[in-house]
Structure 1
Amino acid sequence: MTPVSAVMTADPITVSPQTPFKDIAESLTGNGISAVGVVDKTGALVGVVSEADLLPHLWEDPKPRRRDRRLARKATACTAKDLMTSPVVTIDAGDSLAVAAAKFARTGVRRLFVLRNGKPAGVLSRRDLVRVFTRGDADLEREVCDRIRQLSWGPDRVRVELRAGIVTVVGRVERRSDIDPVTRSISELSGVVEVRNRLDYVWNDVG
């Protein structure tokens, strides 16, 4: 199981609640990022300021009657405390990429701040997850074969064919109950698009 920490961008840039608007804008543009975390004195993540949070300052008329009150507040905000969006959608560094993908789909956010022991450890973007699928087939095939060996199946029993991230497993195992663990183990590897299990078995031990 590939954890979020393996593909995240580590050491995220953060600011304090008192950081001025201009300093935040300079941090975003100077570092080529789209958001910064806001941390309190203990280092806990209390909010996030993104490019979208700064844009209301360009409104010609920020009055609440014309705009959403929350956004209207951002249009006149001068520090991170008033600019930030809170609470932040986060994920734990040890969570799997599958958990991250599900959270992206459920929340619709562009990025997840990654926590380790409750403190910011990194940032995970949707692009980071997509990049997982760009792994070369040769590299991925080596990892799949290693995983097969860990399950105590040699190439004389189980063979692997891999193309464009699609893993086809063929061969013959002792018991029918041995088949599903092979699929689960391979599907956990980052870069695997699909597992096509073509394994046969000697005897059926599944009721």
Structure 2
Amino acid sequence: MTISTVSAVMTADPITVSTKTSFKDIAQLLTGNGISAVGVLDKTGALVGVVSEADLLPHLWDDPKPRWRDRRLARKATACTAKDLMTSPAVTIDAEEPLAVAAAMFAHTRVRRLFVLRDGKVAGVLARRDLVGVFTRGDAELEREVTERVLRDTLNLGPDRVGVEVRAGVVTVVGRVERRSDIDPVTRLIRELSGVVEVRNRLDYVWNDVA
């Protein structure tokens, strides 16, 4: 696995509904499939919103009147179809975006999931736990990828020049490169690999080509 994109860890072909799908059918889909939300598609197949568990809960209010000064939630308390229940627009991300972009979107939007688009159509759904899961990669697998894909294939640095050690996702590189400007790309490329917790770059250089 090389530098990870959203498509590498997303759940493909998520469950979706139409704007006319009923409240009860949505509730059954959520509970029956063990999911927390469904995407809502219009007649063209475009994603127009999301109905989550939170969108259904206002139906349990004793009084559906907008006493919380939130007419949007009050409307959901009496809504019967996805069109009126959904939160719109949906927060989306492209399938080929790097995981770092997805992580930033989760932090900024505080949503629990991102619907993933490919060519404008729903291709998957990405949950926060999917990102956390990338850190479960084994150290041996990660060390092999750093050594072979990053150092050898991309940067042309063999084990005679740079050594690698990975422990608990922390990547340590030691050795000597030709130029000082060769050091930063090592850190950057390793940091982009899925499963890397930290990069400790201890490389030395022969001559300083940085002003």
Using the size of structure 1 for normalisation, the TM-score is 0.98
- Find the counterpart in structure 2 of residue 91 from structure 1: 93
Q: Distance in 2 between matches of 1:106 and 1:36?
A: 21
Shift, 1:19, TM fit: 0.3
Mapped to 2, the partners of 1:168 and 1:21 lie a distance apart of 53
Match of 2:141 in 1: 139
CA shift, 1:140, in A, is 1.0
The correspondence of residues 87-166 of structure 1 with structure 2, limited to 5 A, is: 87-146=89-148, 147-150=150-153, 151-166=155-170
Paired positions, count: 207
RMSD after superposition: 0.9
Q: Distance in 2 between matches of 1:64 and 1:2?
A: 45
SS at match of 2:35: coil
Q: Which runs of 4+ in 1 moved over 6 A?
A: none
Matched, 1:168 2:164: no
**Which of 39, 47, 51 is equivalent to 1:49?**
51
Q: CA deviation at 1:67?
A: 5.2
User: What residue identity is the alignment partner of 1:103?
Assistant: M
2:197 counterpart residue number: 193
What SS is found at the alignment partner of 2:158? coil
Supply the AA of the counterpart residue of 1:72: A
Per the TM alignment, residue 65 of structure 1 is displaced from its structure 2 partner at its CA by: 3.4
The letter of the residue matching 1:130 is V
Match for residue 34 of structure 2?
32
Secondary structure of the corresponding residue to residue 191 of structure 1: coil
Identity %: 83
- Which 5+ residue runs of structure 2 have no aligned equivalent? none
TM-score of the superposed pair, with normalisation by structure 2? 0.96
